[in-house]
Chain A
Amino acid sequence: MAKPPFNPYLPEIATIFETVQETHNIKTFRVRLDDADKMAAFAFQPGQVGQLSVFGVGESTFVINSPPTRMDHLQFSVMRAGEVTTKLHGLFAGDKIGVRAPLGNWFPYEDMRGKNILFIGGGIGMAPLRTLLLFMLDNRGDYGDITLLYGARTPDDMAFKAELPGWLSNPAMSAVLTVDREAPGWEHRVGLIPNVLLELNPSPANTVAITCGPPIMIKFTLEALKKLAFSDEQILTTLEKRMKCGVGICGRCNIGSSYVCVDGPVYSYARLKALPNEL
């Protein structure tokens, strides 16, 4: 009998083998597909997303935040917000979930070769940046200076805490951390991300800025980048929308004629500005 056509709605079954409680509402899951051949053949690009299923509850979209250069497992970090994410937070090593991935577009990392890279992440928005940051560190020779500005409301709200000391001390990159308000024991910057960004005063020359975070942070970060004379083409961001199918059919994640699930989630500010104003 002929092989049935690929079914984009049918998840692969995966097993969680490790979880990390990052913050009070962010939990990281490290998973492997149960089908060892499919896991070995799994290929994706930095920035692509996946739909995670809790069977009986539903699916939600998350970026694959481990890089394609480290294929031992796939990592997803989930902020508890709705029904599916609440159920996901109740899962631990050994539990099974469904994975539909990779979906969507990716960071144009090939066009970014030879350029300085400026990552600006806020809260859970660090997840897609982590993928590209680690990918670039694993291909360090391809890129110029790599700078990370990562902020969260409070020190406790910082995800990827276990990795922060390594990023701060890594000679291959420079990292700046900030929180909104002073907190006991906090030894890094204090201030909102856009303000700290202006203080850092990075040069736009031969630089690409990639920013991801809550909408209000993105809004003011874009303003700050414009003040710093970054052009619209030099700024990348990722968008979130409610999604169901993930393959451009079900019809809800569009901004005008652009479907975030297939034409995104990665957009340059130039592309974003050409779309109708409906974020």
Chain B
Amino acid sequence: MAQEKFLPIQNLQEWLGALSREHRVLVPVEEGGGVVFRPFEAGSRPVLSMDATTSPKSAVFPSSHDLFRFEQTKDPKDPERVSLTLAPDIPRTPTVVFGGRPCGARGVMIFDRVYLGGRFPDPYYQAARENTLFVTLACESPGNTCFCHWVGGGPDDPSGSDVLMTAVEGGYVLQSVSERGTALLDGDGPLLSSDETTTKEAAAARARARASLGPATDLGPAQESLLALFDDRKFWEEVSEKCINCGACTYLCPTCYCFTITDEACGLSGKRVRSWDTCMSFQFTLEASGHNPRPGKANRLKNRVGHKFSYYPARYGGLLACCGCGRCIRKCPASVDIREIVIGAIERAGDNVREASNG
């Protein structure tokens, strides 16, 4: 059963305070010139007027965490004999991610296919996912780098969210999306019942946001076009010319899920750590022999774009691994625009086909 509540703006702190008694509540706050998700504490000032600089993925996929600790112990009577134990650490912290946007929550849905849908579900992600709820704020006025509606999302896309909030006069209308979201909205306290007026107002606000979007570009042909352009060096060298391979795009991206595994040891004991990695780095695919299948930045940018718009959709029923949030465009120090690359690839592949048929 869906649940709907009204949260008056003056009750926001009280509700977050109530949630934080049983959850780690991550809210977007200003820090270091950006907006990042941090645990709520009394006096936290959530920034809801703009999307966060970082994505909410860190709630379920921390930038770095321990897979397990290992401990090797020498037998004092026979130092040649070493015993070894491994202790995995799978946190199950009840968490609410508050105030992200639908694009960020959609990213989690894209993670789910990879982390939960394979032969071996990822137990760390699964535990985090089962214990995390996303209370997402529908967008009122998408920005000029937003293109969620090109990639299957929208300013009020509920994918990945448990509760969807819509800003109305004097507060927010909260609608549950999942069963866990319904449970989160149970009870009263700071949450009031919604009424016909607030419900209508919320629907109107969401309709206004959808209407404010420009026409959507169909990115469906990209899946084939990017494969057709795989060997077009000139195209990839042109579009990657500005790229400085910093990887900011991948770290900020709500759908970039790649990681590396490294060991940290002190003496005989230590831990194995999983951390975010970036396909924009030379080391990402560098083999021990010195061979690198993606030696240049053109190869690497091609893989990033190809993965999101061709390889991932090929594996997951056409779903694009891009949520259209525009973070990679806004924060790229070299002004690389992934939209231009994908559109350019579709056009170029089309031109090639036409040229071939005109012979």
Asked whether, in the complex, the Cβ of A254 is within 8 Å of the Cβ of B307, the reply is: yes
- Nearest residue in A to B299 (C-beta to C-beta)? A278
Q: How far is the CA of A94 from the CA of B79 in the complex (A)?
A: 12
- Nearest residue in A to B291 (C-beta to C-beta)? A215
Asked whether, in the complex, the Cβ of A242 is within 8 Å of the Cβ of B70, the reply is: no
Asked whether, in the complex, the Cβ of B258 is within 8 Å of the Cβ of A250, the reply is: yes
Q: How far is the CA of A256 from the CA of B311 in the complex (A)?
A: 6
Interface residue ranges of A78-122 to B (CB < 8 Å):
81-83, 85, 94-96, 98
Asked whether any CB of chain A lies closer than 8 Å to the CB of B315, the reply is yes
Asked whether any CB of chain A lies closer than 8 Å to the CB of B25, the reply is no
Interface residue ranges of A15-59 to B (CB < 8 Å):
55-59
Interface residue ranges of B108-166 to A (CB < 8 Å):
114-115, 118-124, 126
Asked whether any CB of chain A lies closer than 8 Å to the CB of B257, the reply is yes
Interface residue ranges of B263-321 to A (CB < 8 Å):
263, 265, 268, 270, 272, 274, 277, 279, 284-289, 291, 293-294, 299, 303, 306-307, 310-312, 314-315
Interface size grouping (class) on chain A = 35 or more
Q: Cβ of A7: which chain B residues have Cβ within 8 Å of it?
A: 88, 90, 123
Asked whether any CB of chain B lies closer than 8 Å to the CB of A186, the reply is no
Asked whether, in the complex, the Cβ of B82 is within 8 Å of the Cβ of A96, the reply is: yes
Separation in Å of the A34 CB from the closest CB of chain B?
8
Q: Which of B72, B122, B287 has a CB less than 8 Å from the CB of A242?
A: B287
Task: Return the CB mask of A170-197 against B: 1 if under 8 Å, else 0.
Answer: 0000000000000000000000000000
Determine the main DSSP class of A at the interface with B: loop
Asked whether, in the complex, the Cβ of B258 is within 8 Å of the Cβ of A55, the reply is: no
Asked whether any CB of chain B lies closer than 8 Å to the CB of A137, the reply is no
Asked whether, in the complex, the Cβ of B84 is within 8 Å of the Cβ of A55, the reply is: yes
Q: Which of A9, A242, A255 has a CB less than 8 Å from the CB of B286?
A: A242
Asked whether, in the complex, the Cβ of B307 is within 8 Å of the Cβ of A82, the reply is: no
Asked whether, in the complex, the Cβ of B80 is within 8 Å of the Cβ of A94, the reply is: yes
- Nearest residue in A to B85 (C-beta to C-beta)? A13
Asked whether, in the complex, the Cβ of B230 is within 8 Å of the Cβ of A257, the reply is: no
Q: Which of A10, A252, A253, A279 has a CB less than 8 Å from the CB of B67?
A: A10
Asked whether, in the complex, the Cβ of A252 is within 8 Å of the Cβ of B120, the reply is: no
A13-B84, A60-B288, A251-B307 known; A55+B119 contact, CB < 8 A: no
- Nearest residue in B to A263 (C-beta to C-beta)? B315
Interface size grouping (class) on chain B = 35 or more
Asked whether any CB of chain A lies closer than 8 Å to the CB of B261, the reply is yes
A245-B261, A249-B118 known; A10+B288 contact, CB < 8 A: no
Asked whether, in the complex, the Cβ of A276 is within 8 Å of the Cβ of B230, the reply is: yes
Asked whether any CB of chain B lies closer than 8 Å to the CB of A244, the reply is yes
Q: How far is the CA of A90 from the CA of B352 in the complex (A)?
A: 55
Asked whether, in the complex, the Cβ of B120 is within 8 Å of the Cβ of A8, the reply is: yes
Q: How far is the CA of A257 from the CA of B224 in the complex (A)?
A: 12
Separation in Å of the B228 CB from the closest CB of chain A?
10
A7-B88, A257-B311 known; A276+B227 contact, CB < 8 A: yes
Q: Cβ of B291: which chain A residues have Cβ within 8 Å of it?
A: 215
Q: How far is the CA of A247 from the CA of B114 in the complex (A)?
A: 10
- Nearest residue in A to B121 (C-beta to C-beta)? A5
Asked whether, in the complex, the Cβ of A240 is within 8 Å of the Cβ of B67, the reply is: no
Interface residue ranges of B58-95 to A (CB < 8 Å):
67-68, 70, 72, 80, 82, 84, 86, 88, 90
Q: How far is the CA of A7 from the CA of B272 in the complex (A)?
A: 14
- Nearest residue in A to B270 (C-beta to C-beta)? A56
Interface residue ranges of A230-279 to B (CB < 8 Å):
240-242, 244-245, 247-257, 262, 276-279
Separation in Å of the B167 CB from the closest CB of chain A?
36
Asked whether any CB of chain A lies closer than 8 Å to the CB of B262, the reply is yes
25 contacts between A and B (CB under 8 A): A4-B90, A8-B122, A9-B68, A9-B88, A13-B86, A55-B72, A58-B261, A59-B261, A82-B288, A85-B288, A94-B80, A96-B84, A242-B287, A245-B259, A245-B261, A247-B118, A249-B118, A249-B122, A249-B259, A251-B257, A251-B259, A251-B277, A252-B279, A256-B314, A257-B314
